[in-house]
Amino acid sequence: MTDSDGALDGGLAEPEELQPEEGTLRLVGDDDAYDAAAWEAATAAVLRKARRLGEDAPDSDVWTTLTRTTLDGIDVAPIGQQSDLERLTTAGRPVRAGAWDVRTQVEVVDAEAANEAALQDLENGATSLLFHVEGHDGPDWDTVLTGVLLDLAPVVLDRPSTEQVESLADFLEGVDGAVHPGTNLSFDLQTLEMLSYAVRDDGATARDLFAPVVRRGFQLGVRSLVVDGTALHDQGASDAQELGWVIATGAAYLRLLAAEGFTVDQSAAMIEFRLAATDEQFPTIAKLRAVRRLWARVLEASGGDGEMSLHAVTSRPMTSRRDPWVNMLRGTVAAFAAGVGGADALTVVPFDEPIGLPDTFGRRIARNTSSLLIEESHLAAVADPAGGSYAVEKLTDDLAIAGWAELGHIEAAGGALADDARAGVKERVKAVAAARDAQVADRSRPLTGVSEFPNLDEVLPERDHAPHRYARRYGHAYEDMRAQPAARPVFLATLGPISAHTARATFATNLFAAGGVAVEAAGATADAAAVMAAYAGQRVVCLAGTDAAYAEWGADLVAALRAAGASYVVLAGKPGDRTVTDVDDSCAMGVDALGFLGRVREELSR
């Protein structure tokens, strides 16, 4: 499915005008060039000042220092260059013109409450509704949709059971008047079979119901199918894995629909794709652009030329239960990226969903995020605003190639609906989730309010029970610790005046707090006697001071602390720089924070 250079078939060209002059770094256009060496020198100076680049390292090392590698193994350079577009042409660009569909999430626990929420959303900026129904049975749609103008506002379901799909179809068949063609019965065979489906009491399987549901939707003049990439994203999938998964599933649906007598374009019109948008801004923009390119290639190969309907949902795994207010920032960045990436519809998950049923304020903030981006930031005034950016075009192409490779793995194993293919997908996703967990553990992938800048004294807002949603939140290990705070504090043995120990003391305090461990600090001290005067017999002690203080009186302090009852002594500093040897552990930047916190909590529990 790729040529010798690993690019998508039909996606290459060799435009001579894209070749840069030797020694220049094209940043904007032919008349705006910047000398590469000058940029490297200026950047290297900043990195040396921040101690991220050695004094003797060549300036050109800035590229490797600032380049980051995604979980898909894609290198993302610090800036784009015109040379990134060599032999590259783009296909399947975002085509949305104007505002995207503001699709708000409505939880259906109580039919009347859901109706009130839906009407409130529609009266205040929402243009369609995404219903998530608690349980397996369909709700009382007459009550839930009372007052909703179904010819103007599309209704879509979020990971519905087969019973919920059929109940919505039953309701729509009884509607007197037109129904918006964007309404979707939202049947998702892949997600039902792979992640959640059990054979119904009547013996029907999801596969048995595929054709009847599709025909009902076709007769109603609405969509029938959803390809839900967020279901795999919630398991921990990377961007390329999500891309390969949805394209493979879409291709499988095309085959099933062809067997039912539908043309390729008829089939494509029945399917809506749903992808996750995260707070990694540029990868999200590139992913949404890449999925259009991939689907366009599949339709072209299948003899069709239809368009993709793309619904983006802000990521649930990226959100946190702790310091949930930060979720507003995450959601805003994700929404921005989805809008720029060309999403036709966008659902911003309310910031307070991780702690329960979103309240009126949480839903209003989610709804208004789109409204502000559209109406005040004018983000939808231009189609494909990221188009032409060297960095975004390169990242789009790299992600498309990686997603196409994942599609190849799935197809080689029998296609998206084959058991072997699904097993392979699960194993690959499991490996990516483990790699991400390792980055979260050592805080190279920081989580604000969770692994960084935690607040042990925060009081979470109270929310009602919410329908269960599975999402493997990236910070779950820290949050599990925070849910069961350590019974005892750590004594922070600060050496010297505040100005001397504050850096390491602050680092250690935040690290302990990330694991639900409080500290009691000695404060400003002049010698070991002053520290011991503040010591109250805590089992775990952490020394925090300068290297000079450690060398001068750190050993004497450790000896005094052990004599007074300290059983586990931690040094704030890198293990290789220890000037105090009689310690049990150390903490510094890059430490496996989860492993460290686990050891400390175990000692505190003794």
DSSP symbols for 433-491:
HHHHHHHHHTTSS--BTTTBS--TT--PPP-----------TTHHHHHHHHS--SSPEE
| pLDDT given for residue 289 in this prediction | 96
Q: Residue 2: beta bridge partners?
A: 8
CATH code of the domain containing 499: 3.40.50.280
414 and 489 share a domain?
no
Which of the two residues, 262 and 2, has the higher pLDDT score? 262
pLDDT band at 3; cut points 50, 70, 90: very low
Q: Tell me, yes or no, whether 528 lies in a domain.
A: yes
Average pLDDT for 186-194: 93
160 and 203 share a domain?
yes
- CA dist., res. 35 & res. 259, Å (int): 58
What pLDDT, in 10s, does the model give residues 322-359? 999 999 999 999 999 999 999 999 999 999 999 999 99
Kindly tell me if the per-residue pLDDT of 79 is higher than 80: yes
Q: Tell me, yes or no, whether 75 lies in a domain.
A: no
- Note if the pTM is more than 0.95: no
37 and 130 share a domain?
no
417 and 507 share a domain?
no
% of the chain exceeding 70 in pLDDT: 93
Average pLDDT for 40-52: 92
Q: Tell me, yes or no, whether 472 lies in a domain.
A: no
Which of the two residues, 17 and 117, has the higher pLDDT score? 117
> Lowest mean pLDDT: which of 38-42, 408-412, 437-441?
38-42
Q: How far is CA 444 from CA 227, 316, 436, in A?
A: 32, 20, 10
399 and 522 share a domain?
no
Kindly tell me if the per-residue pLDDT of 86 is higher than 90: no
108 and 60 share a domain?
no
Number of domains the chain is built from: 3
Q: Tell me, yes or no, whether 583 lies in a domain.
A: yes
| pLDDT given for residue 96 in this prediction | 84
CB count within 10 Å of CB 602 equals 11
| pLDDT given for residue 577 in this prediction | 61
256 and 115 share a domain?
yes
Q: Which uninterrupted H or E stretch holds 327?
A: helix 326-341
What pLDDT, in 10s, does the model give residues 509-564? 999 999 999 999 999 999 999 999 999 999 999 999 999 999 999 999 999 999 99
56 and 129 share a domain?
no
- CA dist., res. 540 & res. 491, Å (int): 6
Torsion, Cα of 280, 285, 286, 288 (10° steps): 120
| pLDDT given for residue 226 in this prediction | 98
- CA dist., res. 446 & res. 316, Å (int): 16
Q: Tell me, yes or no, whether 456 lies in a domain.
A: no
CATH code of the domain containing 204: 3.20.20.240
Q: Tell me, yes or no, whether 557 lies in a domain.
A: yes
Q: Which uninterrupted H or E stretch holds 35?
A: strand 32-35
CA angle 378, 230, 253 (to 5 degrees): 105
110 and 225 share a domain?
yes
The label of the residue with tokens 């009689």 reads 582
Kindly tell me if the per-residue pLDDT of 16 is higher than 50: no
Q: Tell me, yes or no, whether 21 lies in a domain.
A: yes
Kindly tell me if the per-residue pLDDT of 408 is higher than 70: yes
| pLDDT given for residue 576 in this prediction | 65
Could you tell me how many helices (H) and strands (E) the chain has, helices first? 21, 17
Which of the two residues, 7 and 59, has the higher pLDDT score? 59
193 and 112 share a domain?
yes
Residues written for the chain: 606
Question: Which of 411, 428, 445 is at the close of a domain?
Answer: 428
Task: Domain of residue 306: give its range.
Answer: 101-428
Average pLDDT across the chain, whole number? 91
| pLDDT given for residue 120 in this prediction | 97
Q: Residue 184: beta bridge partners?
A: 223
For residue 334, which of 360, 299, 298, 370 has the smallest C-alpha distance?
370
195 and 327 share a domain?
yes
The label of the residue with tokens 């990439």 reads 229
- CA dist., res. 477 & res. 594, Å (int): 8
| pLDDT given for residue 14 in this prediction | 33
Instruction: Please classify residue 276 by burial: count the beta carbons closer than 10 Å to its beta carbon, then call 0-12 exposed, 13-18 middle and 19+ buried.
Output: buried
341 and 390 share a domain?
yes
Q: Residue 310: beta bridge partners?
A: 273
Q: Tell me, yes or no, whether 147 lies in a domain.
A: yes
What pLDDT, in 10s, does the model give residues 450-485? 999 999 999 999 998 887 777 889 999 999 999 999
| pLDDT given for residue 203 in this prediction | 76
| pLDDT given for residue 198 in this prediction | 64
| pLDDT given for residue 451 in this prediction | 96
Average pLDDT for 430-455: 96
